[in-house]
Amino acid sequence: MNKRKLGIMTGCGTTKQPRHWSLGLLGSMEDPESIVKKTDSIVAIRDKYPKAKIHYLILPFENINSIHELNLTHIPLIEEFGKLYQELKKEHTDSTLRAGFHAVPSMQRLHMHVISTDMVSPCLKTKVHWNSFTTDFFIPYQDVLKELKENGSIKKISSELHKSLMATELVCNQCDFKPKNMPQLKEHLVTHMK
């Protein structure tokens, strides 16, 4: 039996409730130990499987499954995401933080990543992890807000583009270094922290 599918995680984080892993954010939204900040309509939580030294998720209390369910009525909500992101940036002036959404979300419930550019974490393990934050698969917050205002929705990417982005050659996000594999990349990333 696949422990990941049951929601029983090992290694980087644990989940006690037996439910599908894609529903894991719902429990974290209610866990006082996970919550960093919240308003009446949104909450910022610590990512249980951070892909960098700083990694938060901002989610709405409203049941919105993904960016592809957003419409013009959600502009104030997404602007509130941005305000909370700015608050988090002010608290982490020693780090460079980025905010954005995955073009094809893997977790149920709309969520925006707020993540530091160091990308140093034991939970960053695969090329897919890396490429989901360092290619155009990661849509910056401002781009999502602009597209929502201009078009009233967020366009889905094709499955071909999705596959292409996930297969992108590894390249350091802070210099031109091209590692042969993830272990070499992870070793290299630490050198940028000195």
For the record, the structure tokens of 28 come out as: 């974290």
Catalytic residues: 111
Q: 3-state secondary structure string, 17-30? A: CCCCHHHHHHHHCC
What sign results for the dihedral spanned by CA atoms 174, 137, 69, 15? negative
Distance, CA of 130 to CA of 168 (rounded, Å): 10
Output the CA torsion 154→155→159→161 (10° steps).
-100
Alpha-carbon Rg for the chain, nearest whole angstrom, is: 17
Give the residue carrying structure tokens 């890396």: 130
